[in-house]
Amino acid sequence: MNAQEYMEEADKHLLHTYNRYKIVLEKGDGVYLYDINGKKYLDMAAGIAVFAFGYNNKEYNDALKSQIDKLIHTSNLYYNVPATEAASKLTKAAGMDRVFFTNSGAEAIEGAIKLARKYAFNKDGSNDHEIIAMNHSFHGRTMGALSVTGNPKYQEAFKPMIGNVRFADFNDLDSVKSLVNEKTCAIIFEAVQGEGGIYPATNEFMDGVKKICEENDILLILDEIQCGMGRTGTMFAYQQYGIEPDIVTSAKALGCGVPVGAFMAKEKVASAMVPGDHGSTYGGNPFVTAAVNKVFDMFESMNILENVNTVSEYLSEELDKLVADYDIITAHRGKGFMQGLVVTTPVNDIVVKALEKGLIVISAGKDVLRFVPPLIISKENVDEMIEILRSILDDIS
């Protein structure tokens, strides 16, 4: 079949929950993707912040192939080697004590919510505890994750949400304080808001919320699904703020392409969960946790964090130049390899024109052009991207 036939066949059978761009991708190599017609694309989206090492990495691929020949799945009725090793590496990297492996980021959020509520229930036997979440946040599309997502357009058709969730304004400490009461059991937010427009938490906000939690025995849940796993220059973004959450969620680059997520917690909180409280048939099976193991090994052997810190500084400088040179770009913000440009023109127009010129970028909301590239990109890749963007912006201006 040709590209058009593939798209028509897909549209015939797949549930229409995505407005896909009109290309059919076939393979990838390094930081480039190729469609079935052989057209080459510089990928600055990494499958929405997933493919940290780029595509067709032999070391990563071989690790997965090796595990396939050993053991793919057993269920969680038994122990297995990759899950044990992955749990050790992940909890050590996050500064947490225990982990539950899930199949996605949304499921990690679901587990974090359940753990927070169980911890609060164990304290007083009450079921009326409240969670404070943030406006303009995004935590996923399952019912629990959607309930703490601060964007009414995602919720409207699926109400009622789970109850007792109240919304404060991100980076506004007073708005959080105004919602805290004796029923508050947890505060949840992203260390860097992603879909909401690439907004990093301020030091004042992070420190202030942590203090509120400590003074009131409230659990701090940090969503590191997009901003974690090295994307902002430390393994987890909160490690740049000098604080530790009680619960943290991870996914995306945790498995670099295989469907795996996780929620982790300190022992005091994690011990609230007992057998029967939570579970997953596929969660943490040998195949996906073998991928997690290899990811942590490769972060170290490839000096990924060093590359993020070096090249992201250059990326940031080049994006600042675009703000200075083009009136249709009004701001630049972000951390590490999680960057955004605020534009006054429809952002999707830029995304489409970029595809035409062999560049993959994505949006964050209606007015932010988002850059979440593979963590292995070079300064030369940044230059290639900037050249394409300048040609698009020249045309638009």
% residues pLDDT > 70 (the chain): 100
Residue 365 has pLDDT above 90, yes or no: no
Buried b (16+ CB within 10 A) or exposed e, 170-180: bbebeebeeeb
User: If you average pLDDT over every residue of the chain, what do you get?
Assistant: 97
Tell me the two tokens of residue 186. Answer: 């947890």
pTM across the whole model: 0.96
Residues 286-295 have pLDDT tens digits of: 999 999 999 9
Q: Is the CB of residue 149 less than 8 Å from the CB of residue 162?
A: no
Domain boundaries, the chain: 3-53+303-396, 59-301
| Residue 171 confidence class, pLDDT cut points 50, 70, 90 | very high
**Average pLDDT of the segment spanning 196-200:** 95
% residues pLDDT > 90 (the chain): 98
Residue 155 has pLDDT above 90, yes or no: yes
| Residue 189 confidence class, pLDDT cut points 50, 70, 90 | very high
Residue 208 has pLDDT above 90, yes or no: yes
Amino acid making up residue 160: P
pLDDT for 156 equals 92
Report the first-to-last Cα separation within the chain, whole angstroms. 39
SS3 151: coil
Pairing of strands 32-35, 40-43: antiparallel
CATH number of 3-53+303-396: 3.90.1150.10
| Residue 397 confidence class, pLDDT cut points 50, 70, 90 | confident
Buried b (16+ CB within 10 A) or exposed e, 66-105: ebeeeeeeeebeeebebbebbbebbbebbebebbbbbbbb
Residues 216-239 have pLDDT tens digits of: 999 999 999 999 999 999 999 999
- The kind and range of the H/E element at 332 are strand 329-335
How far apart, in whole angstroms, are the C-alpha atoms of residue 238 and residue 19?
Answer: 33
Which DSSP symbol is given to 201? P
How far apart, in whole angstroms, are the C-alpha atoms of residue 176 and residue 330?
Answer: 28
| Residue 381 confidence class, pLDDT cut points 50, 70, 90 | very high
Residues 45-68 have pLDDT tens digits of: 999 999 999 999 999 999 999 999
Angle between helices 304-325 and 379-396 (to 10 degrees): 20
pLDDT for 392 equals 98
Fold that domain 59-301 belongs to in CATH: Aspartate Aminotransferase; domain 2 (3.40.640)
Residue 82 has pLDDT above 90, yes or no: yes
How far apart, in whole angstroms, are the C-alpha atoms of residue 101 and residue 284?
Answer: 5
**Number of neighbouring beta carbons within 10 Å of residue 14:** 10
